[in-house]
């Protein structure tokens, strides 16, 4: 089972050539055999990036997100109380970016690996990553 980091989700949907070969392989496998998990914090991050003009999509952000929601092998994981609490009690050392902390807490809670290019997440020893 995999959780896509926000950039991995954006690249998978919009520019899959930006994903590494192992990341593409993991996503392809999850599409066929499992489920691709995306934290709801990633929808917030995408909307924020679009609002700040740091990400441009070919359609309205709500439509872009809805397209992913309709995929039968994608499941958005809401930020429930357990994930919220876990995100602030992660084993140190880990940086303070709240979105990254919630994505990590989601992956740990779901027993999943994180597909990410983010070195800070890759270097975090308490979660398995794919890149």
CATH number, residue 38:
3.40.50.1010
First vs last Cα of the chain: how many Å apart? 14
Domain housing 115: 2-130
**3 phi-psi bin (left φ>0, alpha ψ -120 to 50, beta other):** beta
In angstroms, the CA 3 to CA 47 distance is 19
- Per-residue pLDDT, 92: 85
Its pTM surpasses 0.85: yes
Decide the pairing of beta strands 74-77 and 36-39: parallel
Question: Residue 113 above 90 pLDDT?
Answer: yes
Q: Is 60 exposed, middle or buried (0-12, 13-18, 19+ CB in 10 A)?
A: exposed
Spatial CA neighbour of 42 closest among 82, 101, 122: 101
Q: Give the chain's domain count.
A: 1
Summarised one tens digit per residue, pLDDT across range 34-91 is: 899 999 999 999 999 999 999 999 999 999 999 999 999 999 999 999 999 999 999 9
């Amino acid at each position: 089972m995999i959780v896509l980091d926000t950039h991995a989700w954006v690249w998978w949907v919009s520019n899959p050539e930006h994903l590494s070969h192992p990341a593409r392989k993991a996503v392809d496998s999850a599409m066929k055999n499992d489920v691709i998990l995306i934290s709801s914090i990633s929808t917030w991050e995408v909307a924020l990036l679009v609002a700040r003009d740091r990400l441009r999509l070919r359609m309205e952000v709500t439509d872009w997100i809805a397209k992913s929601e309709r995929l039968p092998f994608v499941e958005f994981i809401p930020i429930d109380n357990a994930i919220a609490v876990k995100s602030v009690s992660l084993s140190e050392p880990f940086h303070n970016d709240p979105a990254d902390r919630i994505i990590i807490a989601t992956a740990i809670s779901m027993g999943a690996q994180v597909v990410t290019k983010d070195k800070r997440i890759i270097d975090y020893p308490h979660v398995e990553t794919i890149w």
